Chain A
Amino acid sequence: MNSARNSILGRLRTASGKEALPAENFAVVAPRGWSAEQRLDRMRRMMEAVHTEFLDSRGEDWLGQLQGWLARENIPGLIYAPATPLGRRLSTGWSGSVPLIAYDRAMAEWKEDFFGQAAAGITGTRGGIAETGSLIVWTDADEPRSLSLVPPVHVAVLEVNRLYDTFWQAMREQKWAAGMPTNLLLISGPSKTADIEQTLAYGVHGPKRLLVVLVDGE
């Protein structure tokens, strides 16, 4: 439909003038000057307000704590991405009773099982955004998109020294514009809806529960 393209752009060009562009002032989305403690505090508050659960494993053996949590919650298995740095730590350090299941093939090859039987999935994060309480999830060949979407429980590991004040700050400091992944996500809680009479209900299509494991940074 090249003719459609050309006539649309042609009409837009005819109507476009040579006006100067007004200047933008980003101060209102710039870093807030929060301390590390304030950031973490805000992060938790914002996320807990929308039903996110936290496992504070700073200074602890987080693998052991996570195993304990999964066992307590009767979660029968945890799907993980074996080739990520997080995945390597999991496969070497895992010992509990809850089995680890590797997401090591294309989704199409195990779609039915994945949809039918997945109980929980674990992903890493590229930090978080304190202002809005959001996790940055960067997907790629090693970290599948659906791992944080299809299983009813999503476990996300967050290094506490990778928190930013604002969304704008995070994308600039991490230089997102220089190379975006196919799918970059901000996740700010478990899936929810208010489409029935404005009443909040959690776990509509995506995960019903979101657990954030707070760990010390490297």
Chain B
Amino acid sequence: MPAADFRAAAGPALADPQLRANFRRAMDGLMSKRAAVFADRDEWTALRSLGATIRARSLLQLPDLLERLEAKLTENGVKVHWAETIEQGNAIFKQILSGHDARRLVKGKSMVSEEMGLNHALEAEGIEVVEADLGEYIIQLDHEKPSHIIMPAIHKNKQQIARLFSQKIKDAAYTEDVDHLTGLARRVLRQKFAEADAGVSGVNVAVAETGTLVLVENEGNGRMCTTIPKLHIAVMGLEKVVERLEEVPPVLSLLTRSATAQPITTYVNMISGPRRPGEKDGPQELHLVILDNGRSRVFADPQLRNTLRCIRCGACMNHCPVYTRVGGHAYPGVYPGPIGKILTPQILGMETAGDLPHASSLCNACVEVCPVEIPIASLLVRLRSEAIRPRRQADSGPGVVRGAGSQRDAAETWTWRGWALAYRVPLLYRLTSFLLSRFGWALPQRLPLLKEWTTVRSRPQFAPQTLHELARREKVSNE
């Protein structure tokens, strides 16, 4: 289950050499492959600027586009549902499924469904939910959450997967042969596709103009889930919409190249409605659940709104020095890496995830690779200040981040106030620096701030004389 505390979870992750090796190898590979597909800098700059513009335009017209999308989908025969919270979202699923007496579900990869804890909610009703994406299937067998938004089982090596399959799949012998392991999963899951009462999928892009849900994937499990069962339920966060169909090609090009360095995925699946009369296959009923879960609150703040441009390519985590070292499971919530550090605190609230924006050296690697130009580093800094915003200001205004001010700490606040004062009053500055240079060694280790600072760092040593004293002695003029 998600760790509630990044700080606490990061320790064991850092100390696990196997985990670190698995991530290091995978991220190195992803970074160099991505660099190769964007080798043409001019093309990258132009495409990225187009992608950022498309996503910015989508957000500028968001309520209108969602209404147009709903109208067009309805015209196409799709039933559209809205959920403000994950509880509402799960309830909608349960209601649709019970209306069809659907007990067996196959599911394509969807991070929003992870966000909703959908599997858990449905399994509690006695509904069987089978993750059909190979990576998702692997972690479902091991009762884990995804450690990466594109490659959910990236924390595992093939020995670990071989062991898992031999324990969990009937009649499976231990083998480390990847083709053989893939074949085992194919055998099990084909049966599930054929028997399923309903298929669940996410959405990569929804097009308002045509009422089209676009899904990209390599395996074909997404197509299975959206084609074979008689009922298909798709779920998306409300930010996924774009205005026109012609905006899809640049967005997909940025998505697949940033994610896995592929010029395109094996399948681009564009769904614009359920089976029409006379068609021989495809679901008879198609539903779309549009989830808010805090997004409209994020939207209310003009700077933080940029978080919603994200197309979930995962490039920011692939390039993140923190993510590479701690892996995806250390992050609370379901979105790890830089996107998680800006999104999760806004969705779960600062009380729960307020330490996430600090888990960054602000090295800017994510900002450089983000295909839709999200200023991740500035948003991290903004969220750091939201976390300690004075309570008085924190309670009001729709744009203010959930739980703003919850990380505020009296000792820290007063220390910084003192600091600021000392820098404004020369006499106080001199006095403080004199005292620290002479008696700083005597500060007790347990002093707030010093205590936190020294948990992972050595204690700072004060120079025996202040800079001003040294300058005077050296007769530096210019003072």
Q: Which chain A residues have a beta carbon within 8 Å of chain B's beta carbons?
A: 1, 4-5, 7-9, 11-17, 19, 21-29, 46, 50, 103, 105-108, 111-112, 115, 131-134, 139-141, 144-146, 149-150, 166-168, 171-172, 176-177, 180-199, 201, 203-207
Q: B127 at the A/B interface (Cβ < 8 Å)?
A: no
- Chain A residues contacting B290 (CB-CB under 8 Å) are 8
Q: Which of chain B's residues 192-233 have a Cβ closer than 8 Å to chain A?
A: 193-194, 209-212, 218-221, 223-224, 226-228, 230
Q: How far is the CB of B89 from chain A (nearest CB, A)?
A: 9
- How far is it, in angstroms, between the C-alpha of A190 and the C-alpha of B305 when the chains are bound? 39
- How far is it, in angstroms, between the C-alpha of A204 and the C-alpha of B132 when the chains are bound? 10
- How far is it, in angstroms, between the C-alpha of A206 and the C-alpha of B224 when the chains are bound? 8
Given contacts A26-B250, A197-B157, contact A4 B84 (CB under 8 A): yes
- How far is it, in angstroms, between the C-alpha of A13 and the C-alpha of B43 when the chains are bound? 35
Q: B263 at the A/B interface (Cβ < 8 Å)?
A: yes
- Chain A residues contacting B9 (CB-CB under 8 Å) are none
* Residue pair B46, A27 in contact (C-beta under 8 Å): yes
* Residue pair A194, B260 in contact (C-beta under 8 Å): yes
Q: How far is the CB of B155 from chain A (nearest CB, A)?
A: 11
Q: Which of chain B's residues 164-179 have a Cβ closer than 8 Å to chain A?
A: 178-179
Q: Which of B29, B181, B218, B296 sits near A198, CB closer than 8 Å?
A: B29
Q: Which of A19, A29, A185 sits near B47, CB closer than 8 Å?
A: A29
* Residue pair A11, B297 in contact (C-beta under 8 Å): yes
- How far is it, in angstroms, between the C-alpha of A176 and the C-alpha of B183 when the chains are bound? 37
- Chain B residues contacting A183 (CB-CB under 8 Å) are 226-227, 269-272, 282
Q: B2 at the A/B interface (Cβ < 8 Å)?
A: no
- How far is it, in angstroms, between the C-alpha of A207 and the C-alpha of B179 when the chains are bound? 14
* Residue pair A192, B218 in contact (C-beta under 8 Å): yes
* Residue pair A186, B54 in contact (C-beta under 8 Å): no
* Residue pair B272, A145 in contact (C-beta under 8 Å): no
- How far is it, in angstroms, between the C-alpha of A50 and the C-alpha of B260 when the chains are bound? 14
* Residue pair B246, A177 in contact (C-beta under 8 Å): yes
Given contacts A1-B82, A16-B62, contact A180 B47 (CB under 8 A): no
Q: Which of B81, B189, B252, B266 sits near A192, CB closer than 8 Å?
A: B266
* Residue pair A8, B82 in contact (C-beta under 8 Å): yes
Q: Which chain B residues have a beta carbon within 8 Å of chain A's beta carbons?
A: 25-26, 29, 43, 46-47, 49-50, 53-54, 56-57, 60-63, 66-67, 81-84, 88, 92, 132-135, 138, 151-154, 156-158, 161, 178-179, 181-183, 185-186, 189-190, 193-194, 209-212, 218-221, 223-224, 226-228, 230, 238, 244-250, 252-253, 260, 263-282, 290, 292, 296-297, 299-300, 302, 305, 398-399
* Residue pair B276, A182 in contact (C-beta under 8 Å): yes
- How far is it, in angstroms, between the C-alpha of A145 and the C-alpha of B266 when the chains are bound? 15
Given contacts A22-B57, A141-B279, contact A195 B249 (CB under 8 A): no
Q: How far is the CB of B374 from chain A (nearest CB, A)?
A: 16
- How far is it, in angstroms, between the C-alpha of A131 and the C-alpha of B250 when the chains are bound? 13
Q: Which of A103, A185, A196 sits near B270, CB closer than 8 Å?
A: A185
Q: Which of A23, A28, A46 sits near B43, CB closer than 8 Å?
A: A28
Q: Which of B63, B182, B185, B282 sits near A182, CB closer than 8 Å?
A: B282
- How far is it, in angstroms, between the C-alpha of A139 and the C-alpha of B182 when the chains are bound? 28
- How far is it, in angstroms, between the C-alpha of A108 and the C-alpha of B411 when the chains are bound? 68
* Residue pair A28, B50 in contact (C-beta under 8 Å): yes
* Residue pair A11, B299 in contact (C-beta under 8 Å): yes
- How far is it, in angstroms, between the C-alpha of A185 and the C-alpha of B269 when the chains are bound? 5
* Residue pair A204, B185 in contact (C-beta under 8 Å): yes
Residue of A nearest to B276 (CB): A182
* Residue pair A204, B182 in contact (C-beta under 8 Å): yes
- How far is it, in angstroms, between the C-alpha of A24 and the C-alpha of B53 when the chains are bound? 6
Most central of B54, B250, B268 by chain A CB within 10 Å: B268
Residue of A nearest to B250 (CB): A29
A-B contact pairs, 25 of them (CB 8 A): A1-B81, A4-B88, A7-B84, A8-B290, A12-B238, A14-B300, A14-B398, A22-B56, A24-B54, A25-B46, A29-B249, A139-B282, A146-B281, A149-B224, A168-B249, A182-B279, A183-B227, A183-B272, A185-B223, A186-B267, A193-B135, A194-B260, A197-B161, A201-B182, A203-B182
- Chain A residues contacting B153 (CB-CB under 8 Å) are 195-196
- Chain A residues contacting B209 (CB-CB under 8 Å) are 177
* Residue pair B84, A107 in contact (C-beta under 8 Å): no
Q: Which of A8, A19, A168, A190 sits near B250, CB closer than 8 Å?
A: A168
- Chain A residues contacting B297 (CB-CB under 8 Å) are 11
- How far is it, in angstroms, between the C-alpha of A201 and the C-alpha of B398 when the chains are bound? 48
Given contacts A107-B281, A185-B268, contact A149 B223 (CB under 8 A): yes
Most central of B211, B290, B299 by chain A CB within 10 Å: B299
- How far is it, in angstroms, between the C-alpha of A9 and the C-alpha of B302 when the chains are bound? 17
- How far is it, in angstroms, between the C-alpha of A145 and the C-alpha of B185 when the chains are bound? 23
- Chain A residues contacting B253 (CB-CB under 8 Å) are 29, 132, 167
- Chain A residues contacting B132 (CB-CB under 8 Å) are 205
Given A17-B302, A195-B134, A197-B156, 20 more pairs with CB closer than 8 A: A16-B63, A29-B253, A106-B280, A107-B281, A115-B190, A131-B263, A141-B280, A166-B249, A167-B248, A182-B273, A183-B226, A186-B264, A193-B218, A194-B218, A195-B153, A198-B154, A199-B178, A203-B186, A205-B224, A206-B224
